[in-house]
Structure 1
């Protein structure tokens, strides 16, 4: 509380100095830019004035952060236009440019409104509390009642100190309330506005779209590689074995053995193709929903898996697909890498979001940026969701995904 009070008092008292400087700069810069706007110097002077204004506004954000619980972010959008004219237009089109100027203009009256009461109350409270130390040095026999009693007698000085302590408690509360009011006003003007939020959202969506395209390309490459190295190789081997069997038809027993081997190889190839299809999109997920698909995964897992979900609830196809692969990856990691003894899968629906959690009791230490988890994160982010991985050394490990519906 002491540190917060000192920061609040420093913020308010420094506003008494920063306010006149900010007001003077906003007045002078506005007049100079206005007078030179009709000349060739208008553009460069405007950009230079905005550069100084933004640095002053950044200083104000740092001062307000002394009082607020979180720092104030930068609201500016980078201007990549070539030429002074286009840069002037790009900078002038940003609302943050003018909100900075408004704050620098109103800081002076706000500083007086909030700073003067805080400083005066602080001085009066400190003087009253320390009255026994200094009041004896300023005797005034003509002082009116009750000041003559409080200042000229020892008991009165200690009574004044007690009253100062009570006033100090009120002053501390007043300082923090005034400082937070001024800091919130600064945040309302200097924090990123709707324009900045829209720009950031567009950039985030653009990045998510790029990741989706990359993920799709990587998925196609994986399918091609699996087909080439897995099922195709097995089918080729089966064909060669059948060819050898055809040459050995003279020896009936040898031909039967080769044909049997070929059948086993074809069965393996068929199983490989089925696994490949499930890796792309399992048919059970489409036919019976996420609960049935996860139950099938749990049945095939070498670990005991507990599934906590409502079988009657269905989700959008894209959401179910993303959740399925999160659960599949979590179960594979738990069985192959985490040395886990059991795993719990939880699927819940809260309002307009689905939450998926895969937790195991393994030794932990999973890499959140590994290729498998990074692919899952891109898949979830493409749906405007979020995937978090908690895996401290020693365990346990938990994959937590939240996907909007």
Structure 2
């Protein structure tokens, strides 16, 4: 019972406030359209349009807050966060935005809609409450009017009681009608005043792009942390263990032939330690090369080319340091491509080109003069393609039989 009363009161409050809002909306729309039509042929057309749309947006914002009396969630604002600085540009931007016309459409129908809903709700509820309380006030009717058609149900105490009972039975229906009128109007307001489907998808895409960028940065930072921990922790301890074994082996030499077997065991242990250290260093470089953090992509590629068995011609033009995720993706793409060239292409030379285009796209091209015929769906290339696609990039392979083979990646730099 209490919830029904509160809901009905909120609905009445929403509908009655809509009368005042409807009057203001009608005046704004009529005056704004008239002013823009008159001033549209002059230099004051754009300022008049901006002034009108500013008032429309404020009234639409009030409507969104008013709808919160009924709706469980607040209607989000559909307007862009930033607008053009020039008056004419701002006017064109508002004219092109769907929310401007959706707001105007709502304010145009608000007055007749709210008059109909509010009057119907007030009349139905007032008649029902008046009938319910008829025994308390029917005595005040003049005797000559009690026989009128409108007051015949109140002519006698018995009829008054029947009228009150009927009104009590119809009270839930009356309150339901009031709430339904308010809810229907609020939902219609939400459909017109909320962001459109296209804008929602755009905002969702932007949000996903930002969260993905943060996730990629966090992953790159975590890989760098693992690399530092392995380099400064496990690798340092293995080096210390190797030095301890070397010292023990040297001391055993003083014991003569009796320690030959122990020295052999220590030599084997030192070999195992060196092998583990080499594997650990390779693992560290595979996770995230330290030189990539220290010297950037240009320096890391220079070191990579210096260790490669094939002569490599490079053209690297990077005006600035790239984001860590971009540098890592480009580095591992080139490293994997050069490894595949060495293993499978039977090439005699390779060419690597890295540069950024004016539109902010990082382009990486690796070409060899091998026999070609590379499989575009191979496991190595699939892994590289997934790494590049995670950054909104594309990876293409051109490898006709007889060569040459070209691996090209394009990655947007705006991470």
Same fold (TM over 0.5): yes
Aligned counterpart in structure 2 of residue 56 of structure 1, from 43, 56, 59? 59
| Distance apart, 1:47 and its partner CA | 1.9
Divergent runs of 4+, >6 A: 270-280
Cα distance, 1:130 vs. partner?
A: 1.5
What is the distance in 2 between the residues matched to 1:16 and 1:50?
21
In structure 2, the partner of 1:83 is 86
Aligned-partner SS, 2:210: helix
Counterparts of residues 13-92 of structure 1 (less than 5 Å)? 13-92=16-95
| Contiguous gaps of at least 5 residues in structure 2 | 289-389, 392-415
Note the alpha carbon deviations across 1:335-374, whole angstroms, 9 max, x for none. Answer: xxxxxxxxxxxxxxxxxxxxxxxxxxxxxxxxxxxxxxxx
User: How far does residue 32 in structure 1 lie from its aligned partner after superposition?
Assistant: 0.9
Q: Distance in 1 between matches of 2:124 and 2:193?
A: 29
The structure-2 alpha-carbon separation of the partners of 1:193 and 1:235, relative to structure 1 and needing over 3 Å to count, comes to same
Query: Of residues 127, 130, 137 in structure 2, which corresponds to 1:127?
Result: 130
Once residues 218 and 127 of structure 1 are traced to their aligned partners in structure 2, the CA distance between those partners, rounded to angstroms, is 72
1:244–1:258 CA contact under 8 A, matched in 2: no
C-alpha change, 1:124 and 1:142, in structure 2 (3 Å) is closer
Q: Assess if the C-alpha contact under 8 Å between 1:238 and 1:263 holds in 2.
A: no
- Once residues 198 and 257 of structure 1 are traced to their aligned partners in structure 2, the CA distance between those partners, rounded to angstroms, is 67
Match of 1:240 in 2: 243
Whether the 8 Å CA contact 2:147–2:155 is kept in 1: the answer is no
Cα deviation, residue 253, structure 1: 7.6
User: Does the CA contact (< 8 Å) of 1:37 and 1:43 recur in 2?
Assistant: yes
User: Which residue of the partner structure matches residue 230 of structure 1?
Assistant: 233
Residue 40 of structure 1 aligns to a residue in which SS?
coil
Q: Distance in 2 between matches of 1:93 and 1:79?
A: 14
Greater displacement, 9-18 / 173-182: 9-18
In structure 1, what is the equivalent of residue 309 of structure 2?
Answer: none
Cα gap change, 1:142/1:211 in structure 2, threshold over 3 Å: closer, same or farther? closer
Deviation at 1:105, TM superposition (A): 0.2
Could you list the per-position Cα deviations for residues 311-337 of structure 1 after superposition, in whole angstroms to 9, with x for gaps in the alignment?
xxxxxxxxxxxxxxxxxxxxxxxxxxx
Q: Are the aligned partners of 1:61 and 1:72 in contact in 2 as well (CA < 8 Å)?
A: yes
- The residue that corresponds to 2:192 in the other structure is 189
Counterpart for residue 166 of structure 1: 169
Partner of 2:385: none
- CA shift in 2, pair 1:273/1:104, >3 Å: same
- How many residue pairs get aligned? The number is 283
CA contact (8 A) 2:125 2:174 kept: yes
Distance 1:133 1:106, change over 3 A: same
Report if the CA contact (8 A) 1:76-1:96 is conserved.
yes
Does the 8 A contact of 2:242 with 2:273 survive in 1? no
- For structure 1, the 5+ residue unaligned runs are 281-381, 384-405
Decide whether the 8 Å contact of 1:131 with 1:157 is kept in 2.
yes
Aligned partners of 1:276, 1:131: CA distance in 2, in Å? 89
Contact 2:246 2:270 in 1 (8 A): no
After TM superposition, list the pairs within 5 Å mapping 1:284-303 onto structure 2: none
CA drift of 1:33 comes to: 2.0
Do 2:227 and 2:284's aligned partners in 1 also have CA atoms closer than 8 Å? no
Q: Secondary structure at the match of 2:143?
A: coil
Distance 1:119 1:51 in 2: 33
Q: Describe how 1:201-350 pairs up with structure 2 within 5 A.
A: 201-245=204-248, 247-248=250-251, 249-251=253-255, 252=260, 255=263, 259=267, 262=270
Please give the alpha-carbon distance, in whole angstroms, between the structure 2 residues aligned to 1:117 and 1:269: 85
Identify if the C-alpha distance between structure 1 residues 244 and 35 changes in structure 2 by more than 3 Å, giving closer, same or farther: same
Q: Could you tell me how far apart the structure 2 residues matched to 1:235 and 1:256 are?
A: 20
RMSD across aligned positions (CA): 3.3
TM-score of the pair, normalised by structure 1: 0.61
- For residues 76 and 224 of structure 2, the distance between their equivalents in structure 1, rounded to whole angstroms, comes to 41
